[in-house]
Structure 1
Amino acid sequence: MKNENLIFRPAARADLEGIVGMLADDSLGRTRENPDLPLERSYEEAFRAIDEDPNNELIVAEADGKLAGVLQLTFLPSITYRGSWRAMIEGVRTSSAMRGRGIGREMIRHAIGLAEEKGCRLVQLTTDKSRPDAIRFYESLGFRPTHEGMKLRLDKGDGKE
C-alpha cells in the first residue's frame, strides 16, 4: 500500500511526547517506557544526544498531518566487511490508531533507502522473540535471522528488555 499523504522527517523536540507515547503503547513498551508528563529528563537527554550525533537519526512518519510512526536509524562504521558502514534500525513503532495502513513497511523502506545513500553494506535490526508478527513483518521485507542476538542488561530496573 502506498500512503500518498505520508512524509518522513527528522523528529523535532515537539514530537518527543508523541514518540514516547507510541513506544509505550504495546505490551513490551508498557513495561519499559513511562509516557507520564512531564517526561523524565532521560528522554530529553537521549533526544538531544541523538539529534546532535551525525550518525544517528530519529525519524518520524506523518500521515495526514498526524504523528504516525517513529524509528531510530544509527550508522555504524565497522572494521569488518572491509571497513564498511552498516545501519541499525531500532525503536520502530507505528501509532496504534494508524496500524494496518502500510506505514511501518514504508518507514523501513525509507530507512533502507537512507542506508543505501550512506553506502552501508548491510542493515540490521533486532526484534523481541516474543513478537512473531514483527518477525514475519521484517522477513517479508527481506531481513533474515542470520545471527543469534544477545543482550546484557546493565541496569537492574523493572522494565523488560
Structure 2
Amino acid sequence: MAHQETSKIRIEEAQASHLREIVEIINAGAASVRRNKEFTSWQEYAPAFEALTNAPEADIYAALNENDEVVGTYQIHFLRGIAFKGRPRVEVESVHVRADQRGAGIGRLMMNHAEEIARKMDACMVQLTSNREREGSHHFYLQLGYVQSHLGYKKMLV
C-alpha cells in the first residue's frame, strides 16, 4: 500500500470513535513484554481511554489521514518535580504508527506535535522510553535529537 502524504495527516486529541483503531495499532506493535497480556476486545480499553482523556496531566492523540482513519497515535504525560525550578517534564508514551504507514513521516509529525505542546507548557524536556527490542525506534529517536541518557528499569506487576 502507498504511504500517505504527511501534508494530508492531521493530529488531534483522540476521540472514543478512534479507540478501536488505536488499540489495533498499539497491540500490533506490542513488544514481547505485552504479548498475551492484553485484552482480546478493544471495548475493554474504554475505561482506560476515558480515564486518560479526563486526566488533566495526560492526553492521547491520533494521527488521522484524509479518510479519518487512525494511522498513528501517542500519549503525552505532564510530570511535575523539583528539578529545573519545577518546570514540567513531558513524557511521550506509546508512540505507534500503523504498520502500512511506517516510514512516511507520521512518527516525526507526532513527535514534533508533542514537542510543540511541551514548549507551550514551558517544559524543561521531553523524555521517553523505548523497549530494547524496538531497534528501529531507537534509530528514529536518535535522528530526532533524543539522547540515550539513562538506563530504564521496569518491574511487571501483571
CA shift digits 1:78-127 (9 cap, x unpaired): 11222110000001100112112110111111101111111100000000
Provide the rounded CA distance (Å) in 1 between the counterparts of 2:103 and 2:85: 39
- Per-residue deviation, 1:26: 2.7
Amino acid at match of 2:64: E
- Give the count of matched residue pairs: 152
Decide whether aligned partners of structure 1 residues 15 and 146 sit closer, same or farther in structure 2, where only a CA change above 3 A counts.
same
Are 1:23 and 1:33, in contact at CA under 8 Å, matched by a contact in 2?
A: no
The match for 1:124 is 127
Taking only the aligned residue pairs, the percentage that are identical comes to 30
Asked whether 1:39 is paired with 2:43, we answer yes
- Per-residue deviation, 1:141: 0.4
Decide whether aligned partners of structure 1 residues 8 and 118 sit closer, same or farther in structure 2, where only a CA change above 3 A counts.
same
Q: What does 1:3-18 align with in structure 2 at a 5 Å threshold?
A: 3-18=6-21
Provide the rounded CA distance (Å) in 2 between the counterparts of 1:87 and 1:50: 15
TM-score normalised according to structure 1 size = 0.87
The match for 2:74 is 71
- Per-residue deviation, 1:7: 0.5
Amino acid at match of 1:12: Q
Provide the rounded CA distance (Å) in 2 between the counterparts of 1:57 and 1:76: 12
Provide the rounded CA distance (Å) in 2 between the counterparts of 1:37 and 1:135: 30
Gaps of 5+ in 1: 156-161
- Per-residue deviation, 1:39: 2.7
Q: 1:51 aligns with which of 50, 53, 59?
A: 53
Query: Which deviates the most, 145-154 or 24-33?
Result: 24-33
- Per-residue deviation, 1:2: 6.8
The match for 1:60 is 62
Gaps of 5+ in 2: none
The match for 2:145 is 142
Asked whether 1:19 is paired with 2:22, we answer yes
Query: Which deviates the most, 111-120 or 19-28?
Result: 19-28
- Per-residue deviation, 1:38: 5.5
* Matched position secondary structure for 1:61: strand
Provide the rounded CA distance (Å) in 1 between the counterparts of 2:84 and 2:5: 34
Structure 1 runs, 4 residues or longer, greater than 3 Å off: none
